Amino acid sequence: MSMSSVGRPTQPAAANSEVGFQSLSGGRGLLQDEPLLFELGGWDKTGVDLDEPEHDASDLGDLARTAPIGLAGLSEPETLRHYVRLSQKNHAIDLALYPLGSCTMKHNPRLNEKMARLAGFADLHPLAPVSTAQGALALIDRLAHWLKTLTGMPAVAMSPKAGAHGELCGLLCIKAAHEAAGHGERRRVLVPTSAHGTNPATAAFVGYSVEEIAQTADGRVDLADLEAKLGPDVAAIMVTNPNTCGLFEREIIEIARLTHAHGAYFYCDGANFNAIVGRVRPGDLGVDAMHINLHKTFSTPHGGGGPGAGPVVLSQALAAFAPAPWVVSGGDGFTLTEQDVGFGRMSAFHGQMGMFVRAYAYMRSHGADGLRQVAEDAVLNANYIKARLSAEMTPAFPDGPCMHEALFDDGWLEGTGVTTLDFAKAMIDEGFHPMTMYFPLVVHGAMLIEPTETESKRELDRFCDALIALAQAAKAGDAERFKTAPHLAPLRRLDETQAARKPRLTWRPEPITVAPAPLAAE
């Protein structure tokens, strides 16, 4: 494998030789090898045609640039091709079933995209006068109404930008409520062992100490352990339901009762709301605060860090502490309440308008019966996968059905010499993005698969057929296929530990030797 000047592997040489053929340029089929933009375009070229500026005396003095700026210079087609070639290397929900458990990668309907691109929504400036943004405010108000209706909660904060940001919002409401009641001494937050990493991280970020709640053998919160750890210094519990083992917390009402009996609040991580939407209202279960990832349940796009949206529904006890702003409808239409009566605000403006439009379009196109079917199909699809794959793989909780995701452990790989990581990498060769691996941590070598409701039986079968064939190859002793996988991807097995621990995020130019063009000051 050859390296670029910054040590980045450039040529998928090994991948080519693997299939017995090596292209001369490093290309692969119609996919060309792709260097960095900076490696591709020399600094001395430019893709734009600008007139030489009039050489007025510059007032930059010795701040004037004396060396080239070092920007990549490419022609328009070179630039376009660079990004299109990169996009071909990026896997996407529009290419295949994307089985990432807990992340809920579902189809993003094109209708939503069309609505979000309506100029009145897409071109709206956050500081536009309220009188010119009535339609947008009406949409936020309607979306808020349906989020409250679906969850059975009286209030919702719309501005959080993601699930984790929503968790922060919810815990800040809880902290403000305790402080207002003179209970600032409540400093502990209880979190089950199977929780998503953002839960303990959020609690720590708010300044709480975090304590784990044990889990029962059937993958649920251990009530006895919860009760033993609740006390006058506990501010809140954070429980995901359905939890990250893909299981419904059957004792949820008792969990809420115990929590409230000890004066603590119940934060529910609602990232997995797609499994229960239209079937159960978290407000009826005793939840005080819950974020809803619009990018999971309501099909808005995610990945690449956003933009997401994580509105937080709040119980009556917490509603008064909600952050600004919120939409109020009155005789004169809609207005925005900006005063800081709650704990302050989560962000400069109102939230992710484009995501609100998409989520609202998704709700309206499904209707009440359709949203209920979302949850039913999400659960049905996950159970279909669980049932089919259980023939070859070991489900972590074999008894009873799962919710929206099917969790397997690595028990079935014992003695094959193949690990969860190897198996996941081999999936890439079969055209499937790996499932969530090694999470939740409570299951050895976890493989967490979430198909979502938007997959047809035919797509589910393609996926299951591929995994069953791989599982049989692993058991038949074909460890080589796995150990060095992926074989057919643009790059082979990468050192992910090194990439995570010592990411190389900057590009350093080769020393530039040619003198720069004379600048005006000279």
Ligand X SMILES: *Cc1c(COP(=O)(O)O)cnc(C)c1O
Binding of residue 102 to ligand X (CB under 6 A): yes
Minimum distance of ligand X from residue 165's CB (angstroms): 7
For ligand X, the closer CB: 5 or 193: 193
Minimum distance of ligand X from residue 244's CB (angstroms): 5
Task: Convert residues 215-244 into a mask of x (bound to ligand X by CB under 6 A) and - (unbound).
Answer: -------------------------x---x
Q: Which stretch binds ligand X (CB under 6 A): 144-152, 218-226, 265-273, 436-444?
A: 265-273
3-class secondary structure, 181:
coil
- Six-digit token pair at 143? 């979306």
**Of the candidates 257, 182, 181, the residue with the CA atom closest to the CA atom of residue 226:** 257
For ligand X, the closer CB: 268 or 418: 268
For ligand X, the closer CB: 133 or 143: 143
Minimum distance of ligand X from residue 396's CB (angstroms): 16
**Of the candidates 434, 393, 399, 400, the residue with the CA atom closest to the CA atom of residue 416:** 393
For ligand X, the closer CB: 396 or 471: 396
Minimum distance of ligand X from residue 287's CB (angstroms): 14
For ligand X, the closer CB: 41 or 170: 170
Task: Convert residues 497-516 into a mask of x (bound to ligand X by CB under 6 A) and - (unbound).
Answer: --------------------
Applying CB under 6 A, the site for ligand X has a residue count of 15
Q: Which of positions 142-201 make contact with ligand X (CB under 6 A)?
A: 162-164, 196, 198
Strands (E), 9-167: 155-157
> Is 234 within 8 Å of 396 (Cβ atoms)?
no
> Is 164 within 8 Å of 197 (Cβ atoms)?
no
Q: Which of 26, 170, 308, 486 binds ligand X (CB under 6 A)?
A: 308
**Of the candidates 275, 474, 461, the residue with the CA atom closest to the CA atom of residue 394:** 474
Q: Which stretch binds ligand X (CB under 6 A): 21-29, 266-274, 395-403, 453-461?
A: 266-274
Q: Which residues contact 227 (CB under 8 A, 6 or more apart)?
A: 258
Minimum distance of ligand X from residue 259's CB (angstroms): 19
Minimum distance of ligand X from residue 62's CB (angstroms): 46
Minimum distance of ligand X from residue 178's CB (angstroms): 23
**Of the candidates 255, 211, 268, 202, the residue with the CA atom closest to the CA atom of residue 234:** 211
Q: Which of 151, 259, 274, 293 binds ligand X (CB under 6 A)?
A: 293
| Size of the chain, expressed as the number of residues it contains | 522
Minimum distance of ligand X from residue 311's CB (angstroms): 11
Q: Which of positions 312-371 make contact with ligand X (CB under 6 A)?
A: none
For ligand X, the closer CB: 240 or 352: 240
Within 10 Å of residue 491's Cβ, how many Cβ atoms? 15
- Cα 95 to Cα 83: distance, rounded to the nearest angstrom: 18
> Is 289 within 8 Å of 172 (Cβ atoms)?
no
For ligand X, the closer CB: 182 or 304: 304
3-class secondary structure, 191:
strand
For ligand X, the closer CB: 269 or 422: 269
- How far from chain centre, in Å, is Cα 131? 34
**Of the candidates 34, 40, 102, 99, the residue with the CA atom closest to the CA atom of residue 71:** 40
φ/ψ of residue 213, rounded to 5: -105, 135
Task: Convert residues 46-85 into a mask of x (bound to ligand X by CB under 6 A) and - (unbound).
Answer: ----------------------------------------
Q: How many CA atoms lie within 13 A of 67 on its CB side?
A: 6
For ligand X, the closer CB: 12 or 170: 170
Could you write out the three-class secondary structure of 365-425?
A: HHHHHHHHHHHHHHHHHHHHHHHHHCCCCEECCCCCCCCCCEEEECHHHCCCCCCHHHHHH
In the complex, residue closest to ligand X by CB? 163
Q: Which stretch binds ligand X (CB under 6 A): 7-15, 54-62, 269-277, 373-381?
A: 269-277
Within 10 Å of residue 125's Cβ, how many Cβ atoms? 9
Q: Which residues contact 219 (CB under 8 A, 6 or more apart)?
A: 194, 243, 245, 247, 396, 397, 407, 442
Minimum distance of ligand X from residue 219's CB (angstroms): 14
The separation between the first and the last C-alpha atoms of the chain, rounded to the nearest angstrom, is: 46
Buried b / exposed e over 8-38, threshold 16 CB at 10 Å, is eebbbbebbebeeeeeeebebeeeebbeebb
Minimum distance of ligand X from residue 192's CB (angstroms): 11
Minimum distance of ligand X from residue 291's CB (angstroms): 8
Minimum distance of ligand X from residue 111's CB (angstroms): 23
Q: Which helix (H) or strand (E) holds 141?
A: helix 134-151
Residues at the interface with ligand X (CB under 6 A): 102-103, 162-164, 196, 198, 240, 244, 269, 271-272, 293, 308, 310
